[in-house]
């Protein structure tokens, strides 16, 4: 944890089993030799917390408070689903995932990890990464050449029979 001026304040303790030993991976996966990849890690500031997710893994989210308390949060998603990215919003967490049906977005309760809603993206069109969720509107951007075009979509929950993860 750093002070406002960027100087060191204190180390934060991550709960056991909530994070891999390293985000660096080796070609043979045995942990020996030169690192050949870095697992994608995302930091998302929301309210008074910072959420840390190691994308495309089964490790839980880490919630870091302003005081430096670290809490492990395990989203209750279907077994084979891993988070591709978290999406900034003003309330619950939104996670974009790739599942058997293509791209989906799950709304996750940030207190208990329960999946509140499952939103299916039409025609496997996840577009660019979703930039944010405000109310029921999802915002993304499309770019080509020198133009940047905002794309806005409204969330509609998947039918009740399909929404239970």
Q: Show which of 24, 56, 72 is a domain's final residue.
A: 72
Residue after which a domain boundary falls, among 34, 56, 72: 72
Structure tokens at 126: 């996840």
| Distance, CA of 120 to CA of 15 (rounded, Å) | 33
Task: Give yes or no: residues 146 and 160 share one domain.
Answer: yes
Residue-level pLDDT at 165: 44
The CA-CA-CA angle for residues 73, 108, 89, to 5°, reads 105
Please tell me the total count of domains within the chain. Answer: 2
Pick from 57-71, 89-103, 138-152 the range whose average pLDDT is largest: 57-71
- What per-residue confidence (pLDDT) applies to 160? 47
Do residue 91 and residue 159 come from a single domain?
yes
> Is the model's pLDDT at 10 over the cut of 70?
yes
In a shared domain, residues 88 and 60: no
pLDDT in tens, 13-46: 887 777 666 666 666 666 666 766 667 889 999 8
Tens of pLDDT along 50-85?
A: 999 888 887 889 999 999 999 999 999 988 888 988
> For 104-113, how does the pLDDT look when each residue is reduced to its tens digit (9 = 90+)?
888 899 999 9
Q: What is the pLDDT of residue 161?
A: 40
Q: Name beta bridge partners: 164.
A: none
Asked whether 130 and 42 are in contact (CB, 8 A), the reply is no
- Residue predicted with more confidence, 91 or 116: 116
Residues 157 and 97 in one domain: yes
In this structure, the answer to whether residues 53 and 82 fall within a common structural domain is: no
Does residue 55 share a domain with residue 91? no
Look up the domain containing 58 and give its range: 1-72
* pLDDT mean over 141-158: 73
Confidence of residue 98 (pLDDT cuts 50, 70, 90): confident
SS3 assignment for the chain: CECCCCCECCCCCCCCCCCCCCCEEECCCCCCCCEEEECCEEEEEECCEEEEEECCCCCCEEEEECCCCEEEECCECCCCCCEEEEECECCCEEEEEEECCEEEEEEECCCCCEEEEEEECHHHCCCCCCCEEECCEEEEEEEECCEEEEEEEECCCCCCCCCCC
What pLDDT, on the 0 to 100 scale, is given for residue 162?
Answer: 46
Same domain, 23 and 61: yes
Using the Cα atoms of residue 56, residue 77, residue 45 and residue 129 in order, give the sign of their dihedral: positive
**Do 56 and 117 belong to one domain?**
no
Residue 117 and residue 162 in one domain: yes
Among 23, 38, 72, the domain-final residue is 72
**Measured distance CA(58)–CA(82) in Å, rounded:** 6
Per the DSSP assignment, residues forming a β-bridge with 96 are 85, 105
What is residue 29's predicted lDDT score, i.e. its pLDDT? Answer: 60
Q: What is the pLDDT of residues 123-134, one digit of tens each?
A: 555 545 677 887
pTM of the model: 0.73
Residues 82 and 147 reside in one and the same domain: yes
């Amino acid at each position: 944890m750093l002070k406002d001026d960027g100087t060191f304040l204190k180390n934060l303790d991550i709960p056991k089993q909530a994070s891999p030993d390293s985000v660096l991976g080796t070609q043979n996966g045995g942990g020996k030799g030169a690192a050949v990849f870095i697992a994608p890690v995302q930091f998302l500031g929301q309210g008074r917390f910072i959420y840390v997710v190691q994308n495309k893994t089964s490790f839980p989210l880490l919630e870091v408070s302003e005081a430096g308390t670290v809490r492990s949060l395990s989203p209750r998603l279907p077994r084979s689903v891993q988070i591709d990215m978290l999406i900034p919003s003003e309330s619950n967490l939104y996670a974009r995932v790739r599942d058997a049906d293509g791209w989906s977005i799950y709304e996750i309760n940030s207190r208990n990890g329960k999946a509140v809603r499952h939103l299916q993206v039409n025609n496997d069109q996840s577009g660019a990464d979703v930039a944010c969720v405000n109310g029921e509107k999802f915002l993304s951007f499309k770019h080509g050449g020198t133009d940047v075009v905002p794309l806005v979509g409204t969330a509609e929950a998947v039918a009740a029979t399909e929404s239970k993860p």
